[in-house]
Amino acid sequence: MFFSSKRVFLAVLILAVLGVGVFVGLRILAPAPAPEDLAEVAESGPKRTVIGTSVQGREIEAYTYGNGETHLAFIGGIHGGYEWNTVLLAYTFMDYLDANPEFIPEDLTITVIPSANPDGVYKVVQKEGRFTVANVPATELTVPGRFNAHGVDLNRNFDCKWKPEGVWRGNAVSAGTAPFSEPEARAIRNFALTHRPDAVVSWHSQANTVYASFCEGNILPATLAIMNAYAKAAGYVAQKTFDAYA
């Protein structure tokens, strides 16, 4: 589905106002397995679902706002406590939507997965659930929280050109024993395959850039439209590819 720039701009304007880090559009391509159960646990306000659990048993939550035909999803914290600011961004975004439900166009549904690596977050902040900046230690102490409890870099555990190891800061990092070997990656995959969002944005930190995402072939026109609209609203640079690490 191709989005009009006006509709995309409305969706991302909220995020630009809130102040964002780096955004990477994520497109998940995988054969559809039998999805894990999605446990609905609330009926008022945003629809809260538990889309999976982490290695250590922490819930991976999704909050859905609106009921429109076009479905946008936003993911924070895939690098856990190392990118704790993306989790705080997700919660700030959710607070804004809670306080301003009229901002969501009638033809739009928004899902926020605020913390895709809750074990990594806990390893750094030592607090269950929501936290504040005061809970976060000095920068270098956040590095161990980048990985899940198996020591896997979840951003490398998806099946696009998967290989057992990746490189980060010049060092080899584990990508798991197979594509989607980790429960956190499976939770995101199954959410995507069950709900088929039209677009997914994954929040990262530091680069002040909006990157498009693709696996094989060319970048989709709709992906470029979202990248450009998001960059314009946020005041960031738009860049088609990310090649800062192997």
CA dist 7 and 70 (Å) reads 10
What is the rounded radius of gyration, in angstroms, for the C-alpha atoms of the chain?
Answer: 17
pLDDT digits (tens, 9 = 90+) for 194-213: 999 999 999 998 778 999 98
The predicted-structure confidence for 87-108, as pLDDT tens digits, reads as follows 999 999 999 999 999 999 999 9
- pLDDT score at 204: 92
Q: How far apart are CA 62 and CA 50, in angstroms?
A: 6
Q: How far apart are CA 169 and CA 43, in angstroms?
A: 44
Residue partners of 180: CB distance under 8 A and separation at least 6: 30, 157, 158, 159, 186, 189
Is the pLDDT reported for residue 159 higher than 80? yes
Q: What is the pLDDT of residue 28?
A: 36
The DSSP H or E segment spanning 168 is: strand 165-168
Write the CB contacts of 99 (distance below 8 Å, at least 6 apart in sequence). none
10 or 237, which is more confident?
237
- pLDDT value at position 216? 82
The band of 140, judged by pLDDT with boundaries at 50, 70 and 90, is confident
pLDDT digit string (tens) for 40-90? 433 457 999 999 999 999 999 999 999 999 999 999 999 999 999 999 999
| Cβ proximity of 163 and 153 under 8 Å | no
